[in-house]
Amino acid sequence: MSSHHTTAQMEKAYGRWAPVYDLVYDKLTEPAGRAAVRAAEACGPRILEVGVGTGLSLGYYASRSEVHGIDLSDDMLARARQKVATRRLAHVKSLEVMDATRLAFPSESFDAVTAQFLITLVPEPERALDEMARVLRPGGEIVLVNHFGQESGPLAGVERAVAPLCAQIGWSSDFKASRIEAWARGRGLEPLALEPVFPGGFFKILRLRKPAQAAAA
Ligand SMILES: C[S@@+](CC[C@H](N)C(=O)[O-])C[C@H]1O[C@@H](n2cnc3c(N)ncnc32)[C@H](O)[C@@H]1O
């Protein structure tokens, strides 16, 4: 699966992944997920998680947060709903089937929008980013976590080791962070530092700040 797949194929593929996703990816993605949640919470309590999946990150939030999650796959969301119920995650306010490129939320309704291991999967990532920027309040941040391909230089050992696991669920090294940074500059959002996280900087957090004056975005 890659960004060359259609949205319908993506939905079907994650329907198949849902039962085993946590077994394979929980420990691998936890440090990056926790770092993204910390960055999102620093912006305020109203947080949207785009591509929330099985809800691996939902337990990382503080109880004062108000988290809304969306995902293309109802099978993935079913797992997230189970976690919310069994762990009594009262800070999770809604979980809905939705396409990242068509968010059914009013403009400027969130302090932060986070998308973890999602953006490289979306066939039209700029459209998804436009939507994230729209629902974000001025001064808020988009917090992305992903493996982004390196701009140059040899692959690190960790990249070679983890790459097969990534290819299986559609994370490709072809997608560069610079594509998102270019989008941000074009829309008047400020790309903040690209922060390497576990394992060995293979995943990176990319934060984009919407200007405090709404005019530019
Ligand atoms: C690699 S999983 C990551 C799930 C979760 N964020 C995590 O960290 O465990 C990617 C998720 O993005 C969802 N997804 C893919 N394309 C999407 C789109 N266009 N809109 C919403 N969700 C999408 C998939 O259904 C899947 O649940």
pLDDT in tens, 189-209: 999 988 989 888 889 999 999
Would residue 152 count as lying in a domain?
yes
Low-confidence ranges of the chain (pLDDT < 70): 1-4, 151-158, 170, 214-217
Would residue 217 count as lying in a domain?
no
- Ligand 1 pocket test: which of 1, 5, 7, 10 has the largest number of ligand atoms within 8 Å of its C-beta? 10
User: What is the model's pLDDT at position 3?
Assistant: 47
- CATH assignment of the domain containing 197: 3.40.50.150
Would residue 72 count as lying in a domain?
yes
Would residue 123 count as lying in a domain?
yes
Ligand 1 binding pocket, CB closer than 6 Å: 7, 10, 14, 29, 33, 51-53, 56-57, 71-73, 76, 99-101, 116-118, 121-122, 169
CA distance 63 to 31: 19
- Ligand 1 pocket test: which of 105, 121, 129, 165 has the largest number of ligand atoms within 8 Å of its C-beta? 121
Would residue 2 count as lying in a domain?
no
CA distance 97 to 181: 28
- Domain with 98 in it: 7-212
Would residue 127 count as lying in a domain?
yes
3-state secondary structure the chain: CCCCCCHHHHHHHHHHHCCCHHHHHHHHHHHHHHHHHHHHHCCCCEEEEECCCCCCCHHHCCCCCEEEEEECCHHHHHHHHHHHHHCCCCCEEEEEECECCECCCCCCCEEEEEEECCHHHCCCHHHHHHHHHHHEEEEEEEEEEEECECCCCCCCHHHHHHHHHHHHCCCCCCCEHHHHHHHHHHHCCEEEEEEEECCCCCEEEEEEECCCCHHHC
Would residue 1 count as lying in a domain?
no
User: What is the model's pLDDT at position 125?
Assistant: 95
The total domain count for the chain is 1
Phi and psi of 161, rounded to 5°?
-70, -40
